[in-house]
Structure 1
C-alpha cells in the first residue's frame, strides 16, 4: 500500500505527503519514509518538503529536517445543491482573453500578504509546475473571478492523480484590495461546485494553521477539520 504521495521535479525537489490510513501503525510510516528518504539522498535532489504527523517531529529533526510550519486539513462531502448567489463572471483561463503572463501576475497578487508560511516557490516555478502536476489541460482548471472588468480572485480546483473521488484546490485566493468583504466564501463555494462537475465526491482543503481567514472560509462552507500536519524540509547540502 502506498503510504506517501510524492511529486518529483527533476533534480529540484520532492514534495511528499503522508497518506494517513487509520489501521496503519505509525511504525510502518517511519519504515516506509526511511526508504523514501534514502532514495531521495541517492538521487541528490536539491530538497525534500514533507507533510507528516507532528508526533514524528523529534524523529524527523534528528534526521536533519527543519520545521517550516503546521497545516490544517479540512474535508467536506460534495453532495446535493448549494444555495448561493453569484454575481461574478467565472471564466477558465482557456476561455478568457487573459494571457498566461497576466494570469501569473494575478496569481502572484492573490498570494501576496498571505498568512501561509510555506511559500517555497517563485511565481515562475509555480507556473511551470501547473502543467507538470495538472497536465496539458491545466488552463481548463484555472478560474478567474471578475466583475465589471476587474479581477477579484482565482481558484484552481482539480482532481489529484490516483484519487478520482477527491477534489482539491491547487490554489485559491483573493486579491489584497478585495479581502475581508466576504468574496472568499463565495469563490470557494463556486470552486466546490466546479469540483462536482469534475466528478469529485469529497473535498480536501488545507492551509497554514495560522491562516485564520482561510480557516473561517472552510468552516463557513461546512468543511470539518480532519487533521493537523507539520511541514518539514531537508536540503541536500544538509542531508
Structure 2
C-alpha cells in the first residue's frame, strides 16, 4: 500500500506524523491525489492512542491539506467493521457512496 501511495500525486509536506504535547507518537496521515480524485490515502492512530479522539484532528488536517491544494472532491474508505473510522468520516462531513466486498486468490507454489 505504501508503494501505491508513493506513486500517487502528493506533496511531501502532506504526509505527517502527529504527536501529543509530550512528544508521544499518535499516528499519521497520508493524503494523496489519484488520477481521478483526491483521497485520504492512509490515516491511522496507534493502537495505544485510540479512544482519545485523535482521529478527528488527523482527518481534519488531511482534508484541509487537500482542500488547500485546490482539490474539491475527496474520497476515503474504511473497512465496514471499522465503526470508529466510519463515524469519524461522517462527523467530518464525508458521506457514504458505495459498499463493496474485496476478494483475493492466493495460490500455493
Q: The TM-score by the shorter chain falls in which range? A: 0.7 to 0.9
Q: Which structure is larger by alpha-carbon Rg, 1 or 2?
A: 1
Normalising by structure 2, we get a TM-score of 0.83
Between Structure 1 and Structure 2, the one with more strand by share is 1
In the other structure, the counterpart of 1:168 is: 39
CA contact (8 A) 1:152 1:178 kept: yes
Q: Is 1:188 aligned to 2:62, yes or no?
A: no
| Partner SS, residue 224 of structure 1 | coil
What is the alpha-carbon distance in structure 2 between the residues aligned to residue 212 and residue 149 of structure 1? 28
> Greater RCO between the two (CA within 8 Å, min separation 6)?
1
CA contact (8 A) 1:159 1:167 kept: yes
- 1:158 Cα deviation from its structure 2 partner: 0.8
**1:224–1:130 Cα change, 3 Å:** closer
What is the alpha-carbon distance in structure 1 between the residues aligned to residue 103 and residue 88 of structure 2? 25
Runs of 4 or more consecutive aligned structure 1 residues displaced over 3 Å after TM superposition: 126-131, 137-141
Normalising by structure 1, we get a TM-score of 0.41
CA offset digits 1:189-222 (Å, max 9, x no partner): 1110011122210111111111101011011111
CA contact (8 A) 1:145 1:151 kept: yes
Q: Which of 48, 69, 74 is matched with 1:203 structurally?
A: 74
- 1:168 Cα deviation from its structure 2 partner: 0.4
